[in-house]
Amino acid sequence: GAVVSQHPSRVICKSGTSVKIECRSLDFQATTMFWYRQFPKQSLMLMATSNEGSKATYEQGVEKDKFLINHASLTLSTLTVTSAHPEDSSFYICSGKGSRWSRSYNEQFFGPGTRLTVL
C-alpha cells in the first residue's frame, strides 16, 4: 500500500496556543486528503475533506475557523488547531487518496496519527 506520514506524532501544548500538524503522502500524489479525529474507544470522525488547491469542505459541526486546513500541494496537507483547549485533546489522523491515474486510486491510506494533549 501507499505511505502517508504525519508530524508530529505527539504534541503537548498549553491552552490557547495553536498547533500545526503536517500530513504527507510519500510515494503517491494525494489529490484528496481527509482529516479525522478519534476519541478513546470511539469511532473515527471525519472532520474535513480537502482537494489540492481548493478550500477544504468541513463536516457539519466542525468549526472551520478553529481547524484550519491547507492542501497546498499533491503531497502535503496541514491541519492547524487554533487557540487549542483541553477539549481539543484527541487523536488526529489524516488520510490520502490517489488520483484517478495512480496505482492505488480509490483507496484511502492513513497516516500514523498525531496525539494532541492540551493542558
Partner 1 sequence: QKEVEQNSGPLSVPEGAIASLNCTYSDRVSQSFFWYRQYSGKSPELIMSIYSNGDKEDGRFTAQLNKASQYVSLLIRDSQPSDSATYLCAAEGEYGNKLVFGAGTILRVKS
Out of 28, 34, 58, 67, the only residue in the binding site for partner 1 (CB under 8 A) is 34
From 115, 114, 19, 113, select the one nearest 66 (Cα to Cα).
19
61/97 Cα distance (integer angstroms): 24
Q: Which amino acid is at 36?
A: Y
Interface with partner 1, residue 107, by CB under 8 A: yes
CB of 51 to partner 1, least distance (A): 9
Interface with partner 1, residue 97, by CB under 8 A: yes
Residues 6+ apart with CB under 8 A from 49: 32, 33, 34, 56, 57
Instruction: Pick the closer one to partner 1 by CB: 82 or 113.
Output: 113
Query: Segment contacting partner 1 (CB under 8 A): 15-23, 63-71, 78-86, 110-118?
Result: 110-118
CB of 118 to partner 1, least distance (A): 18
Out of 14, 43, 60, 86, the only residue in the binding site for partner 1 (CB under 8 A) is 43
- Could you count the other beta carbons within 10 Å of the beta carbon of residue 36? 20
Interface with partner 1, residue 113, by CB under 8 A: yes
Q: Cβ distance 112 to 94 under 8 Å?
A: no
